[in-house]
């Protein structure tokens, strides 16, 4: 190894690093490390001049390894790898030491310690760099078709963009119709255009597009493969209706005697029948039989739908269908669930009749909803005289979800306006802060203020029907500390609307596991980079769009849906993908076939080969995460680019000041020698 020549580059990152770390001193010190041929510090290593510095040294000094001490490799590893490649050095011989996030930023108040830590990180990086080996990426062709999971506005947008560009799309939707939450909404903030008026044409286009295969009432069961070449198994649940014959005339559901509370589309506010189409504009237009509530399936007699269907489309014998799809890319657009307001018992939802959730209210004000658009109490007739709207129910609350759901303030403003428009009621909006960022939102807030909605600042403590003062009988009393006047207030109202949080889908974790993507602490799918790559995931070829990535409103959702399409189209047009060589390799000669690793790979990359009884990593699936490498009790799995030698050397390097005796320590206990 004596002939290795390492170049070490220490970035000032403007003042981000140089403001805390003595970069000149670190650079001088680095030059003295074994095998280091040159050490330099520079204002911005990522600038073209900084990169040229590296390239020049590789060419002129014959560097065989490069260490860049700068920011996180998440940020600039690709930058410096490319610089090395341009100068003819294998890009995998470059190592980064993160002296910004790991030293200068976290030790801003102790410059000396930050400088020492930077040295340790660089020492580790140099030692590790010496153990690196050149690696070559491989290339595989890409399947043209794309799978979109979830047919809300996000999935619809993605599917249409890709299909319009001329490529096939499979759109898998779990419910009988596409549309998602947007189909439930009445008006949309801030412009108050009618939600279904703007959504229906898109749903129609999706259902009729020659490039889109719509698989409604279907779910993905299994995913295997890798970017460019996924194999997906989809279960098409039996509708019990032959869609070749059905015309969507509605005879069946108008005759169905079974009444079921519709907890999905009507958010629990209305009923549907056992054979049903969720809403008139549904795409596709065909109904489904909800077997669990169908009298025939449960009791053995009825078949009213079959009797009345003019085309004989009802098929009680229909079975689920399993489809195998080959796709190159996958977009997850599975949306969100509404927070279950029962979890906050003091707000009384489920116990006090006139406490409603936001989605129930959306259905109530909708002209096509259960009340025909009338704002009434649970009795179905009485118009409220006063309405309380409570913000942040289950959001910004460390007991439930610490995050802000981003849309509820605006929806609450919208509700204030709609109540005012449809009734003479007084409206009280209980808020912590009104979050009205983005275009035209603040203006909408001002408009609602002018319309006379009362805003009370404070988190509501309780909603109760226990009257204590005159005027409270028969009312719901909202108990709140009004933090603007510093007083406890009890405000009697007829109706309470809870602006429940947007939460990750109840099955988000399972879906994440199925597709091999991550979930954040809150449970939303994790993007590759929160700022620079909010659409991609850590799994190549799998993208996320809409509310499944985090709470957001329709404009942001549509933006992400289109962005996901753009990302997919880029890959399709490239025709093939490069596969990172950083991955695990099993030494099959030495694998004892213990099968410890078989179940561990989050990407399903490990197969067990019965004969001769060894395990094998599929290089196209492996992401090099290292899980199996750490677990193999025989230590016969090597993580390329993260070999044992490179990790141990890095640790040795990190501890250079200890192992060089700069730090002294006492013998744990003196030995008694004769």
Partner 1 sequence: MAENGKPKLALYWAASCGGCEISVLAIHEKILDVAEAFDIVFWPCVMDFKVSDVEALEDGEIDVCLFNGAIRTDENAHMAHLLRRKSKVMVAYGSCAMEGCMPGLANFYDRERIMQFVYHDSPSTDNPDGVEPQTRTEVPEGELTLPGFWNTVRTLDQIVPVEYFIPGCPPEAKWTEAAINAIISGELPPPGSVIGMDVTVCDECPRERSEKKITRFYRPYEIIPDPDICLLDQGLFCAGIATRAGCGALCPQVNMGCRGCYGPNEGVVDGGARLISAIASVIDAKTPEEIDAVLDTLPDPAGYFYRFTLARSLMERTRLERQNGHKVARPLEEVPRLDPALKE
Ligand X SMILES: Cc1cc2nc3c(=O)[nH]c(=O)nc-3n(C[C@H](O)[C@H](O)[C@H](O)COP(=O)(O)OP(=O)(O)OC[C@H]3O[C@@H](n4cnc5c(N)ncnc54)[C@H](O)[C@@H]3O)c2cc1C
Q: H or E element: which one contains 212?
A: strand 212-215
Query: Alpha-carbon distance 143 to 155, whole Å?
Result: 20
Q: Is 228 in the site for ligand X (CB under 6 A)?
A: no
User: Which of the residues 557 through 576 are near ligand X (CB under 6 A)?
Assistant: 557
User: Which of the residues 556 through 615 are near partner 1 (CB under 8 A)?
Assistant: 590-600, 608
335 binds, among ligand SF4, partner 1, ligand X, none (CB under 5 to 8 A by kind): ligand X
* Beta strand spans in 112-190 (E): 138-141, 146-149, 169-172, 187-188
Contact between residue 252 and residue 647 where contact means Cβ atoms under 8 Å apart:
no
SS3 190: coil
Q: What HEC string does 426-475 produce?
A: EEEEEECCCCCCCCCHHHHHHHHHHCCCEEEECCEEEEECCCCCCCCCCC
Length of the chain as a residue count = 674
User: Which of the residues 286 through 305 are near ligand X (CB under 6 A)?
Assistant: none
Query: How many residues belong to the site for ligand SF4 (CB under 6 A)?
Result: 30
Query: Alpha-carbon distance 41 to 115, whole Å?
Result: 14
Comparing CB distances to ligand SF4, the nearer of 453 and 617 is 617
Q: Indicate if the alpha-carbon torsion angle 635, 640, 646, 650 is positive or negative.
A: negative
Comparing CB distances to ligand SF4, the nearer of 391 and 641 is 641
From residue 205 to residue 244, the character string flagging contacts with ligand SF4 as x (rule: CB under 6 A) and all else as - is ----------------------------------------
407 binds, among partner 1, ligand SF4, ligand X, none (CB under 5 to 8 A by kind): ligand X
Q: Is 168 in the site for ligand SF4 (CB under 6 A)?
A: no
Query: Alpha-carbon distance 230 to 283, whole Å?
Result: 27
Out of 123, 188, 395, 627, the only residue in the binding site for ligand SF4 (CB under 6 A) is 627
Cis-peptide into 612, omega within 30 deg: yes
Comparing CB distances to ligand SF4, the nearer of 294 and 636 is 636
Out of 120, 154, 162, 542, the only residue in the binding site for ligand X (CB under 6 A) is 154
Query: Residue 505: how many CB atoms within 10 A of its CB?
Result: 20
Q: Is 206 in the site for ligand X (CB under 6 A)?
A: no
Q: Is 521 in the site for partner 1 (CB under 8 A)?
A: no
Query: Residue 262: how many CB atoms within 10 A of its CB?
Result: 20
Query: Residue 577: how many CB atoms within 10 A of its CB?
Result: 21
From residue 574 to residue 593, the character string flagging contacts with ligand SF4 as x (rule: CB under 6 A) and all else as - is ---------xx-x----xxx
Out of 125, 601, 620, 654, the only residue in the binding site for ligand SF4 (CB under 6 A) is 601
Question: DSSP per residue over 463-529, as a string?
Answer: EE----STT-TTSEEEEEEETTTTEEEEEEESEEEEEEPEEE-TTHHHHHHHHT--B-TTSSBPPSB
333 binds, among ligand SF4, ligand X, partner 1, none (CB under 5 to 8 A by kind): ligand X
157 binds, among ligand X, ligand SF4, partner 1, none (CB under 5 to 8 A by kind): none
Q: Is 407 in the site for ligand X (CB under 6 A)?
A: yes
Query: Alpha-carbon distance 51 to 53, whole Å?
Result: 5
- Cα 621 vs. chain centroid, distance in angstroms? 21
Give CA separation, 404 vs 432, 499, 501, 527, 552, in Å.
Answer: 11, 12, 8, 18, 10
648 binds, among partner 1, ligand X, ligand SF4, none (CB under 5 to 8 A by kind): partner 1
Comparing CB distances to ligand SF4, the nearer of 317 and 611 is 611
- Of the ranges 129-137, 366-374, 465-473, 663-671, which one interacts with partner 1 (CB under 8 A)? 663-671
Q: Where on the chain is the footprint of partner 1 (CB under 8 A)?
A: 590-600, 608, 627, 630-636, 644, 648, 652, 655, 658-659, 663-669, 671-674
> Which positions lie near ligand SF4, rule CB under 6 A?
583-584, 586, 591-597, 600-601, 603, 605-606, 615, 617, 622-629, 632, 634, 636-637, 639
């Amino acid at each position: 190894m004596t002939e290795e020549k390492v170049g070490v580059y220490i970035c000032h990152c403007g003042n981000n690093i140089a403001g805390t770390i003595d970069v000149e001193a670190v650079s001088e010190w680095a030059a003295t490390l074994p095998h280091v041929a040159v050490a330099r510090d520079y204002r911005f290593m990522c600038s073209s001049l900084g990169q040229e510095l590296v390239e020049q040294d590789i060419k002129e000094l014959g560097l065989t390894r490069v260490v860049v001490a700068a920011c996180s490799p998440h940020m600039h590893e690709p930058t410096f790898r490319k610089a090395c490649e341009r100068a003819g050095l294998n890009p995998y011989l470059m190592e980064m030491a993160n002296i910004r996030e790991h030293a200068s930023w976290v030790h801003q108040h102790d410059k000396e310690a930050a400088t020492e830590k930077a040295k340790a990180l660089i020492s580790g990086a140099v030692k590790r760099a010496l153990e690196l080996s050149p690696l070559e990426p491989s290339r595989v062709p890409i399947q043209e078709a794309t799978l979109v999971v979830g047919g809300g506005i996000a999935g619809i947008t993605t599917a249409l963009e890709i299909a319009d560009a001329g490529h096939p799309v499979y759109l898998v939707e779990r419910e009988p119709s596409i549309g998602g939450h947007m189909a439930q909404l009445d008006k949309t903030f801030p412009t108050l255009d009618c939600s279904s008026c703007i959504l229906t044409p898109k749903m129609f286009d999706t259902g009729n597009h020659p490039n889109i295969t719509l698989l409604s009432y279907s779910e993905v069961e299994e995913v295997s493969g890798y970017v460019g070449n996924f194999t997906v198994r989809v279960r098409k649940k039996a509708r019990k209706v032959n869609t070749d014959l059905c015309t969507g005339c509605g005879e069946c559901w108008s005759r169905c005697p079974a009444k079921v509370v519709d907890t999905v589309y009507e958010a629990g506010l209305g009923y549907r029948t056992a054979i049903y189409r969720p809403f008139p504009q549904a795409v596709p237009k065909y109904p489904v039989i909800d077997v669990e509530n169908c009298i025939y399936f449960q009791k053995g007699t009825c078949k009213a739908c079959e009797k009345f269907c003019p085309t004989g489309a009802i098929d009680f014998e229909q079975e689920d269908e399993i489809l195998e799809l080959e796709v190159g890319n996958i977009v997850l657009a599975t949306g969100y669930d509404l927070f279950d307001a029962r979890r906050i018992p003091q707000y009384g939802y489920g116990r006090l009749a006139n406490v409603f959730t936001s989605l129930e209210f959306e259905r109530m004000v909708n002209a096509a909803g259960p009340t025909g658009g009338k704002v009434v109490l649970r009795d179905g007739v009485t118009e409220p005289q006063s309405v309380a709207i409570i913000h942040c129910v289950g959001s910004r609350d460390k007991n439930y979800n610490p995050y802000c759901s981003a849309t509820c303030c605006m929806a609450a403003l919208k509700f204030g306006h709609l109540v005012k428009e449809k009734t003479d009621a007084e409206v009280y909006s209980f808020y912590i802060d009104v979050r009205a960022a983005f275009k035209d939102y603040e203006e909408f807030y001002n408009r609602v203020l002018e319309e006379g909605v009362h805003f009370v600042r404070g988190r509501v403590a309780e909603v109760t029907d226990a009257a204590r003062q005159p005027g409270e009988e028969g009312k719901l009393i909202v108990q709140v500390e009004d933090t603007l006047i510093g007083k406890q207030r009890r405000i009697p109202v007829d109706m309470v609307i809870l602006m429940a949080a947007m939460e990750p889908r109840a099955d988000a974790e399972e879906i994440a596991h199925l597709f091999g993507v991550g979930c954040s602490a809150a449970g939303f799918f994790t993007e590759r980079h929160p700022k620079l790559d909010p659409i991609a995931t850590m799994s190549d070829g799998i993208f996320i769009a809409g509310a499944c990535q985090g709470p957001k409103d329709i404009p942001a959702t549509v933006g992400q849906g289109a962005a996901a399409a753009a990302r997919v189209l880029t890959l399709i047009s490239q025709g093939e993908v490069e596969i990172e060589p950083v991955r695990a390799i099993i030494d099959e000669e030495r694998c004892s076939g213990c099968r410890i690793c078989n179940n561990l790979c989050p990407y399903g990359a490990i197969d067990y080969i019965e004969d001769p009884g060894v395990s094998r990593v599929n290089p196209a699936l492996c992401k090099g995460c290292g899980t199996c490498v750490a677990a193999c009790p025989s230590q016969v799995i090597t993580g390329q680019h993260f070999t044992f030698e490179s990790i141990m050397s890095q640790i040795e390097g990190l501890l250079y000041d200890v192992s060089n005796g700069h730090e002294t320590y006492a013998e744990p206990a003196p030995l008694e020698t004769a």
